[in-house]
Amino acid sequence: SAVISQKPSRDICQRGTSLTIQCQVDSQVTMMFWYRQQPGQSLTLIATANQGSEATYESGFVIDKFPISRPNLTFSTLTVSNMSPEDSSIYLCSVRLAGLVTQFFGPGTRLTVL
Amino acid sequence: QKEVEQNSGPLSVPEGAIASLNCTYSDRGSQSFFWYRQYSGKSPELIMFIYSNGDKEDGRFTAQLNKASQYVSLLIRDSQPSDSATYLCAVTLNTGTASKLTFGTGTRLQVTL
């Protein structure tokens, strides 16, 4: 497995502002993903973070709202832009290690938008 | 039709009993199947994965896969109160691109004393 850290672990933000979430992994990974888990719901994939190029977004998610960066193999950021209360959720970074198909999750960032 | 379906529960079993968690999937081309455990307020933790038809055992956990019926299950033997959590089934769909996990909505398991 891998040790995955996320910062911040939680935050309370005002509507209209933006928050950047960081994900750091202790080993080189092939793929990094960002998920959202709304209260009482399962996990929804936002996008695949690609190293050195634009992220691949899932249907319903756009780059203007959720810009993602991945400057190297072990680090990625997700920004939640122009937030509204509907963005209140847990945001999870997930990674797949080189040569493996198994996928592991970071501890998550609990976001509340007022 | 949802791609991955699970009964939301709660599934209540007494301590020491076998808990049986079920999952069905719609895409016959699905390749890999995963079970995650998620405690309240925590992130998902991988328990097991299975690729081939049949059973795969790991300690108290057994994953069962039947591709013909598009069905995967997780059995937990000798259930403990610490097993109380939501169990998420996830499937890698055959998209032709880098594989992505699709999750079911999860089954909440309660192990009672």
Cβ(B45)–Cβ(B36) below 8 Å: yes
d(CA A9, CA B99): 28
Record: contact B105-A41, CB cut-off 8 A: yes
- How near does any CA of chain A get to the CA of B41, in Å? 9
Contact residues for A71 (Cβ-Cβ < 8 A; gap 6+): A51, A52
pLDDT of res. B97: 45
Amino acid at B107: T
Record: contact A101-B49, CB cut-off 8 A: yes
Alpha helices in chain A (DSSP H): none
Tens of pLDDT, residue by residue over B75-110, are 999 999 999 999 999 998 755 446 788 999 999 999
Q: In a 10 Å sphere around its CB, with 0-12 CB exposed, 13-18 middle and 19+ buried, how is residue A47 labelled?
A: buried
pLDDT of res. B96: 42
d(CA B47, CA B12): 20
Q: Does the beta carbon of B106 lie under 8 angstroms from any beta carbon of chain A?
A: yes
